[in-house]
């Protein structure tokens, strides 16, 4: 019943179901709903860039979201391209699906993109700056928490280049940690890289 107020197009997941690396976002947006694929809009392009810099292709990793339907704004009629954060009941109703995906994929590392993904997986709130300092765990799998790609896009569009650069560096450091946990530590060139 909690899933009822969501929109009705399912956007499940994409990528390699045998991947060692799994990314978990919040919920699909307008582009994702249209193409029925997670992270294909502007945030997805940023995520592709991050995955590429790690030395992987999008098809080699597994990409999913906590909530599989785009949360509705009001009754959805005037939503346009804008997005709504899923509410706690919607997240709670969705968590069993991501738990099952994690069981099937059995990744070596999960990267939680943004506060909603972290909240859903870790069942605790907190800021990204606080959560990204440690390696967490979900069902025995290490979880790295980092900023959502849409946050990077926002800092880039705020014409605050120093903030955007600092955020990107933090995200990249989180990805370097994820690579180490994967057992494929970054090269010197990758370590020096700035997103």
The pairs formed by 3-7 with CB atoms below 8 angstroms and a separation of 24 or more are 3/69, 3/90, 3/93, 3/94, 5/71, 5/72, 5/90, 6/67, 6/69, 6/70, 6/71, 6/72, 6/86, 6/90, 7/33, 7/69, 7/70, 7/71, 7/72, 7/76
Closest distance between ligand URA and the C-beta of residue 70, in Å?
A: 9
Of positions 65, 146, 155, 167, contacts ligand URA by CB under 6 A: 65
CB of 13: closest distance to ligand URA in angstroms?
9
The residue of the chain with the least Cβ separation from ligand URA equals 25
| Cα–Cα distance for residue pair 147/193, rounded to 1 Å | 18
Contact between 120 and ligand URA by CB under 6 A: the answer reads no
Residue whose entry in the numeric block shows the structure tokens 């029925």 = 36
- Please report whether residue 62 would count as binding ligand URA according to CB under 6 A: no
Structure-token pair, residue 126: 């907190």
Query: Does 39 participate in binding ligand URA (rule CB under 6 A)?
Result: yes
**Rg of the chain over all Cα atoms, to the nearest angstrom:** 16
Does 25 participate in binding ligand URA (rule CB under 6 A)? yes
Q: CB 29 → ligand URA: shortest distance, Å?
A: 5
- Interface with ligand URA, residue 86, by CB under 6 A: no
Q: Does 90 sit near ligand URA (CB under 6 A)?
A: no
Binding residues vs ligand URA (CB under 6 A): 25-29, 32, 38-39, 41, 43-44, 65
């Amino acid at each position: 019943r909690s899933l009822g107020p969501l929109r009705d197009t399912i956007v499940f997941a994409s990528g390699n179901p045998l991947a060692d690396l799994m990314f978990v976002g919040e919920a699909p947006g307008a582009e994702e709903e249209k193409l029925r694929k997670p992270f294909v809009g502007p945030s997805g392009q940023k995520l592709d860039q991050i995955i590429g810099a790690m030395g992987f292709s999008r098809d080699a990793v597994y990409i999913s979201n906590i909530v599989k339907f785009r949360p509705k704004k009001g009754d959805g009629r005037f939503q346009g391209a804008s997005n709504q954060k899923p509410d706690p009941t919607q997240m709670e109703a969705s968590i069993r699906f991501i738990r099952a995906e994690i069981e099937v994929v059995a990744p070596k590392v999960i990267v939680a993109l943004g506060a909603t993904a972290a909240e859903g997986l870790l069942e605790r709130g907190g800021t990204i700056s606080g959560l990204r300092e440690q390696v967490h765990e979900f069902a025995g799998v290490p979880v790295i928490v980092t900023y959502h790609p849409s946050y990077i896009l926002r800092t880039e569009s705020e014409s605050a280049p120093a903030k955007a650069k600092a955020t990107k560096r933090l995200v990249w450091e989180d990805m370097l940690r994820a690579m180490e946990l994967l057992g494929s530590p970054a090269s010197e060139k990758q370590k020096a890289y700035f997103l």
